[in-house]
A and B are shown apart, each in its own frame.
Chain A
Amino acid sequence: MALLCSSSTVILPSSSVKPSGSDRRSPFLGLSLTAISNPSVRVGINGNAKRGLQVKCEAEQATTSLVPANQRWMFDEEEANGPDIWNTTWYPKASDHVNTDKPWFVVDATDKILGRLASTIANHIRGKNLASYTPSVDMGAFVIVVNAEKVAVSGKKRNQKLYRRHSGRPGGMTVETFDQLQQRIPERIIEHAVRGMLPKGRLGRALFNHLKVYKGPEHPHEAQKPLDLPIRDKRIQLQK
């Protein structure tokens, strides 16, 4: 098989083609002579007839650019000569998702509806509010939830919503209601809700570690300077 690059040396067996474009006889090996008649190609016919077709590419291709000449005014100089950033979909490099550079957010869960709060949190942790969202990479932010024991639910869910877990052994199912769990371990309610909304898998488990839930109004992450989580849902606050 023959490869042609725009500036290359093509060595053909001596029994065939004459040099560039001088005649238009039948193509050799399926190569049309118009391809070889490119002025930058040098055809060398030498005594290595038995070695067959060889192609050597020269290192002169750095000056060709993907941008045609009449559109170069639209680009900055370093973009015009560099790789094509517009036609290849952006994928994050390792430096784009370093954990130390990710933003931190704080939410106060007092009197917020559980599911709506968990949904917003999960969106921010996964990174779905960013233009740089990538499903295979952790691009999201860290979220801190405080006052977890004051989270609210509507209707009769406070006494009727059941949390089940199973130890694996027969007869090992434990059932608790919402308020029993809130007395015992209030952080688990929000963690359970958010975990159900994050993807399940290795990445999902890693994302879950970006959620920090605390019982009282204090949290130990002041050094990360967390911002307030922007909430767009209007019905997230419990109507009294």
Chain B
Amino acid sequence: MTRIKRGYIARRRRTKLRLFASSFRGAHSRLTRTMTQQRIRALVSAHRDRGKRKRDFRRLWITRINAVIHETGVFYSYNRFIHNLYKKQLLLNRKILAQIALLNRSCLYTISNEIKK
């Protein structure tokens, strides 16, 4: 068997890896072996958190709506508000409700008063 060098194959692959890991901290952007591991971890986190992102934002919207609704009445809370929304068949989702609560507070008060009746 004649001697065969592998040439530039590995180097081309590792340059792409280096570009991906170029913003990592310390050895994670300098050493090849750690870069491969950290790239895998980064991609795993990204994959998992794409699902989590949807959950996290819904939690945030619910907390924000809850905060504003509590100030509306004495024994009034997010769960009663949503129940009233569903009873009146109002299709606003929590994202828009949270944005309304922030940007146009009086509009949210109007909505909640209308639903309570």
Contacts and interface: CB of A to CB of B under 8 A. Distances in A.
A34 B74 CA distance: 59
A28 to B, nearest CB: 27
B52 interface: no
A89 B63 contact: no
A129 B57 contact: no
B96 A129 contact: no
A129 B70 contact: yes
Interface residues of B, number: 18
Interface residues of A, number: 14
A133 interface: yes
Given A128-B67, A131-B68, A133-B67, A90 B61 contact: no
B111 to A, nearest CB: 14
B95 interface: yes
A131 B64 contact: yes
Interface string A40-81: 000000000000000000000000000000000000000000
Interface stretch (B10-18, B25-33, B98-106): B98-106
Contacts of A129: 67, 70-71
Contacts of A128: 63, 67
Nearest to A135: B60
B103 A90 contact: yes
A132 B64 CA distance: 7
Interface in A102-148: 128-135
A130 B69 CA distance: 10
Contacts of B101: 131
Given A89-B95, A90-B102, A133 B70 contact: no
A129 B96 CA distance: 19
Given A89-B61, A89-B95, A131 B102 contact: yes
Contacts of A90: 99, 102-103
Contacts of B103: 85-86, 90
**Looking at chain A's contact residues, is the secondary structure mostly helix, strand, loop, or mixed?**
loop
Contacts of B68: 131
Name the residue in B64, B70, B74, B105 with the highest tally of chain A Cβ atoms < 10 Å from its Cβ.
B64
A131 B95 contact: no
Contact of A130 (B67, B95, B96): B67
B31 to A, nearest CB: 28
Nearest to B105: A131
Contacts of A135: 60
B96 A86 contact: yes
B106 to A, nearest CB: 12
Interface string A221-240: 00000000000100000000
Interface in B67-111: 67-68, 70-71, 74, 95-96, 98-99, 101-103, 105
Interface of A: 85-87, 89-90, 128-135, 232
Given A89-B99, A133-B67, A232-B70, 6 more contacts: A87-B95, A128-B63, A129-B70, A131-B98, A131-B105, A133-B63
